[in-house]
Amino acid sequence: MSNLRINPDRLLHDFNALAQIGSTGDGGVHRPALSENHLAARRWLRQRILDSGLEFQQDAAGNHSAILRSPNPSARTLLLGSHLDSVPHGGRYDGALGVLAALEVVRTIRDANLELPVHLEAIDFTDEEGTLVGLLGSRALTGALTPEELANPRGGSQALRDGLSRAGLADPLRAVRAPESLAGFLEVHIEQGNRLNAGVADIGIVTALVGIGSFQLAFTGRADHAGTTPMHARRDAGLAAAEMIVRAQGLAVRAFPDCVINFGQAQFSPGAYNIVPERAELALEFRAPSQPELDALETALLDLAQTTAASLDISLAYTKQACVAPAPCAPQVQQAFAAACDDLGLIHIPLLSGAGHDTQALAAVCPAGMIFIPSTGGSHNPNEFAEWEACVNGANVLLGAVLKLEGEIGSMIYQS
C-alpha cells in the first residue's frame, strides 16, 4: 500500500474552515485552551469526525478523538495527533495541522478499507500550549499530570476552574490510560524555526525534544512614594526584576549556549506611576536538550535570582510550574518516518526539537515520535506559515509511517 495517499483537497477544506474559528483577521488565531474560541474549534472537530462516519470520543481531560477500530477488539491503540489550542494571538498551523493530518490519515485508511492490527485514533490534546497547565491533555492521558499541578496551575486556579467549567470537565486526572493499551504516538508539526528552509530538507525527523522548566518568580520590596523617597533608600521590586531579566540573558548566552530562556510575563504592583513597586512577578521558562543541562540551568537561574534580590534588599519567592523532562523519540518510529519519506522521494534530516510537544508526554509511556515540515515567519504569532505542499507532504509521511509500522520496522510496536 505504499502508493496510498491522503486526500489533499479534503485536508485543505478542513484546514481553511478551522483557521476561521478564533481568527484574528491577520492570518492568526486566538484559541487559548478551553476559551470559547477553543471550544468552538472542538465542536467543529467533533462534527467533522461524526460527518466522516468515524467513532467520536471525548475523555475526562477534554481530549477529542476519532477512532477507527481494528478487527482485533483487544488490539492496542496507535495515537496520531496534536492540539487545536493556540497561544494568545498565535498562528493557524501550530497544532491544528497535526490534528487535521491525523484525522485525514485515519479517514484515508478507513476509505481504503485497510485492516490494521491496532486501533487507530486521531487525537486532539487539551492545552498543549500550557495556557492553564502545560500539556494538560497528553499528560493526563499518560498519568503524568498530578493533583498538585491542578491545584496550582501556571495559568492561575481561577482560570483553570473557569476553563474546566466551560468545557464541562470535572476531573482531568480520570483521563489516564494504561500504558499497555498504547501502541505508540505519531505527530506532524510545523518546524517553527528556519532549520528546514532554503531547500535544506522536506522533512525533519525529530530525534529528541528538549526539557522545559518554568517558575513564577515574585520579588517583594516596599511600596514607597516615588517623589519623596530618595533613590538610595528604596527597596524597588521592579528594579530587582529588571536586573534579573538582564543578568539571566547574559548567563544563558554565556554559560548555556545550547539552552534558551524566556521571561514572558512581568507585572509590577501596586502599579501606579508614583509608587515604587512593592512586588514584581516574572514568568520564567527555560529549556535544555538533556536532563543534566536542564538541572544545571535551573540551579544557576534560581541562584541568580536570589543573588540579585539580596543585592537590592529584596526578598524572593518562587513557585515551580509544570516541567517536562527531555524526551528521546523512539528509534522504530524515526525509522518508519524515514522509510515513508524515502518512498515519497522526500529529503529528510534528523532534528532536535526546541519546543515541547504532546510527543514529549507520550514518549514517557510508549514509542513516540514526530516530524517537522518547513515553516517560516517564526511561530506563536499570526505570521507563521507553511507551504501547502509541505503540509500535504507531512500528512502523507504520517500515513506512510503508520503503514510502515505494520511491517518489519514496527513489529515491536504492533505485536509486542
Residues that bind a copy of itself (CB under 8 A): 87-89, 129-131, 154, 191-193, 210, 212, 214, 222-232, 238-239, 241-246, 249, 252-253, 260-268, 270-278, 280, 283-285, 287, 321, 353-356, 378-381
β-strand partners of 29? 23, 90
Please write down the long-range contacts of 150-157, taking CB distance under 8 Å and 24 or more positions apart. 152/319, 154/130, 154/214, 154/216, 154/283, 154/321, 154/322, 155/130, 155/131
Quick one: 87 or 182, whose CB is closer to a copy of itself? 87
Cell numbers representing residue 64 in the block? 477529542
Residues 316, 356 contacting (CB under 8 angstroms): no
Taking the complex as a whole, the smallest distance from the CB of residue 94 to a copy of itself amounts, in Å, to: 8
List of E strands, 69-160: 77-82, 90-91, 119-124
The nearer residue to a copy of itself, 124 or 278, going by C-beta atoms, is 278
Q: How far is the CB of 361 from a copy of itself (least distance, A)?
A: 15
119 Cα distance to chain centroid: 24
Between 263 and 385, CB nearer to a copy of itself = 263
Cβ distance to a copy of itself smaller for residue 177 or 380: 380
Kindly state the DSSP code that residue 170 receives in the 8-state scheme. S
* Pick 89 or 177: Cβ nearer a copy of itself: 89
Report the residue number, 12 or 159, with the smaller CB distance to a copy of itself.
Answer: 159
Distance CA 2, CA 286 (A): 41
Element containing residue 284 per DSSP (H, E): strand 279-288
Q: How far is the CB of 248 from a copy of itself (least distance, A)?
A: 9
CA 28 to chain centre: 17
Q: Least distance in Å: CB of 119 to a copy of itself? A: 32
Q: How many CB atoms lie within 10 A of CB 389?
A: 12
**Residue whose CB is less far from a copy of itself, 136 or 176:** 136
Specify whether the CB–CB gap between 180 and 362 falls below 8 A: no
CB of 129 to a copy of itself, least distance (A): 7
Alpha carbon distance 324, 288 (integer Å): 10
**What is the C-alpha R_g of the chain?**
23
For a copy of itself, give the closer residue by CB, 7 or 376: 376
How is 313-375 classified by DSSP, letter by letter?
A: T-EEEEEE---B--EEPPHHHHHHHHHHHHHHT--EEEEEESS--HHHHHTTTS-EEEEEE--
State the minimum distance, in angstroms, from the CB of residue 350 to a copy of itself: 16
Minimum distance, C-beta of residue 407 to a copy of itself, in the bound complex (Å): 33
The nearest distance, CB 247 to a copy of itself, in angstroms, is 9
